[in-house]
Amino acid sequence: MSQQCVLIIDDEKNMRHMLKIMLGKAGYSVESASDGVEGLERMEGSDFGFILCDIKMPRMDGMAFLKEAKEQYPEKTFIMMSAYGTVETALEAMKEGAYDYVSKPFKKDEVLLTLKKAEEREGLKEENLRLKTRLNDMEKKYSYGNVIARSEAMAKVFDLVRKVAEHKTTVLITGESGTGKELIARAIHRTGPRGQEPLVSINCGGIPENLLESEFFGYKRGAFTDAVKDNPGRFVEADGGTIFLDEIGELPLPLQVKLLRVLQEEEVTPLGGIGSKKIDVRVVTATSKDLDKMVGEGKFREDLFYRINVMRIHIPPLRDRRGDIPVLMGHFIETFNEKLNKDVEGPTSKTVSILMDYPWPGNVRELENVIERAVLLSTGRLITPAELPSNLIRSKGLPHYLDPEDTLSIKKASKVLHRTLIKRALEETGGNKTRAAKLLEISRPMLLSKIKEYDLG
């Protein structure tokens, strides 16, 4: 049977007959039962989409039936009916899993409307399931580790990551800020043989210069004023695993010399120590700076550059791989739906157009922030331009009166639009009102009236 099949359970023969005729005329296939026991028997081997059940019945009443049926068929939609309707009864039925509650006597439209609402709900549930399945399929197809993409450019990046992950080769990841360099570093670590070992990340630009050496290589107690106990350092912490040096272009020249020695000798000496310790660390570095240029300017050591640049992986900016934007949007919407307890299905076509045309100077990180904001602000199933930051709207070339942070009044925006167009038409025609009216495709008297209304005389 199709999902349009309805089971009516009611001990009143006339009620069953009336509902059967009414729902049959509305296009439903209808079967009936006289009580809860017969209703359960009917449900065996039959695929009823909706069950309309009376509450007060002999043998097994509606509430007992609902508890039993909901346990056996949790995916079915149950609508309860009763001539003894109270708020408490309705709440109890809902608590037991009923979709809705109809009080007798009811109007014909009331039952049909309730069924239509239930059908729409089931349709949305199926659509959400399809969207989630599609999203999961896309993530499997267009992802590597935690990186989501589907562009040809990123497919080449993934290919390099797969090849390099199995080896201890030193990797330099380049790309603008926000492109996902740390995610690529994590993917290299996790998919390689060191995946179960430590991954230690250090932002070379986020630690004061005077603390970097002790942070990298550790120190012995008493090495300096605040060294009250031994600290092994981040390289020792990463022993057996991977160390990720982010923004390595920020590393001061004196420390570059010491880092080079560690990479060559594979051993570290803590501050205040007299002996070195052998380490087995896979080194992955990243930078948003042009290291080739810095080497030429003497700002980055050439020998260290060659040491870390054994395998370079460049991540292109988001503006150069716009095909990744839709799949990233879907991924971030799913992520923030779960995080913010929302149920947003996706963006409107207008929103997609704005997001696809925006240059994304902040790359994937900026897109993620925009989607989080949009999901948080969204009040419906779809993300509209109203939930986007104003700088995205303006970059699309939309005039200021359509800026959602300026006004959401259609009436006010319409007046500004009319005034702007009339002003432009008058400027283009040198004030010739007859020609301006033709350009605006309105009558001359209408134009004169608008000029007066908008004080454009």
* Closest-CA residue to 373 (of 385, 356, 360): 385
Least confident of 231-235, 244-248, 389-393, 410-414: 410-414
CA Rg, the chain, in Å?
A: 34
Q: Which structure tokens are listed for 331?
A: 């991924």
Query: CB burial class (10 A; 0-12, 13-18, 19+) of residue 296?
Result: exposed
CB-CB contact of 111 with 8 (8 Å): no
pLDDT at 402: 43
pLDDT digits 0-9 by tens, 213-258: 888 888 888 777 777 788 888 999 999 999 999 999 999 999 999 9
Same fold, 150-316 and 410-453: no
| Mean pLDDT estimate for the chain | 86
Q: Which structure tokens are listed for 11?
A: 């001990």
- pTM score, two decimals? 0.57
CA distances from 117 to 80, 114, 121, 381 (A): 14, 5, 6, 17
CB-CB contact of 249 with 294 (8 Å): yes
Measured in degrees and rounded to the nearest 5, phi and psi for residue 288 equal -100, 0
* Closest-CA residue to 180 (of 326, 310, 309, 314): 314
Mark residue 10 as left, alpha or beta (left: phi above 0; alpha: psi -120 to 50; beta: remaining). beta
pLDDT digits 0-9 by tens, 18-29: 999 888 888 888
CB-CB contact of 101 with 94 (8 Å): yes
Residue keyed to tokens 């986020």: 206
CB-CB contact of 102 with 114 (8 Å): yes
pLDDT band at 419; cut points 50, 70, 90: confident
In this structure, whether the domain defined by 320-402 belongs to CATH 1.10.8.60 is answered with yes
CB contact set of 70 (below 8 Å; sequence gap of 6+): 76, 78, 96, 97
Q: How far apart are CA 262 and CA 251, in angstroms?
A: 15
Q: Considering the chain, what percentage of its residues have pLDDT values greater than 90?
A: 40
Q: Is the pLDDT of residue 329 over 90?
A: yes
Least confident of 128-137, 224-233, 341-350, 370-379: 128-137
Q: How far apart are CA 329 and CA 140, in angstroms?
A: 15
pLDDT at 186: 93
**Which is higher by pLDDT, 94 or 142?**
94
Per-domain residue ranges for the chain? 5-132, 150-316, 320-402, 410-453
Q: How far apart are CA 453 and CA 447, in angstroms?
A: 10
* Closest-CA residue to 249 (of 317, 199, 295, 316): 295
End-to-end distance of the chain based on CA atoms, in angstroms? Answer: 71
Angle formed at CA 55 by CA 52 and CA 58, multiple of 5 degrees: 110
Give the β-pairing of 147-148 and 143-144: antiparallel
DSSP character string of 107-137: -HHHHHHHHHHHHHHHHHHHHHHHHHHHHHH
pLDDT digits 0-9 by tens, 58-81: 888 888 999 999 888 888 899 988
Q: How far apart are CA 405 and CA 387, in angstroms?
A: 9
Q: Is the pLDDT of residue 2 over 50?
A: no
pLDDT at 417: 78
pLDDT at 88: 76
Other Cβ atoms within 10 Å of 264 Cβ, number = 11
CB-CB contact of 203 with 247 (8 Å): yes
pLDDT at 153: 87
**What mean pLDDT comes out for the span 416-435?**
82
Q: Report the CATH number of the 5-132 domain.
A: 3.40.50.2300
**What mean pLDDT comes out for the span 113-123?**
85
Q: How far apart are CA 322 and CA 353, in angstroms?
A: 11
pLDDT digits 0-9 by tens, 268-322: 888 877 778 899 999 999 999 999 999 999 999 999 999 999 999 999 999 999 8
In this structure, whether the domain defined by 150-316 belongs to CATH 3.40.50.720 is answered with no
CA 72, distance to chain mean position in Å, is 35
Measured in degrees and rounded to the nearest 5, phi and psi for residue 143 equal -145, 155
**What mean pLDDT comes out for the span 367-392?**
90
CA distances from 403 to 256, 353, 410, 415 (A): 49, 16, 12, 14
Q: How far apart are CA 104 and CA 122, in angstroms?
A: 25
pLDDT band at 94; cut points 50, 70, 90: confident
* Closest-CA residue to 181 (of 172, 170, 169, 190): 172
pLDDT digits 0-9 by tens, 339-357: 999 999 999 888 898 899 8
Measured in degrees and rounded to the nearest 5, phi and psi for residue 181 equal -65, -40
Q: How far apart are CA 79 and CA 117, in angstroms?
A: 11
Please identify, in words, the CATH class of the domain defined by 410-453. mainly alpha
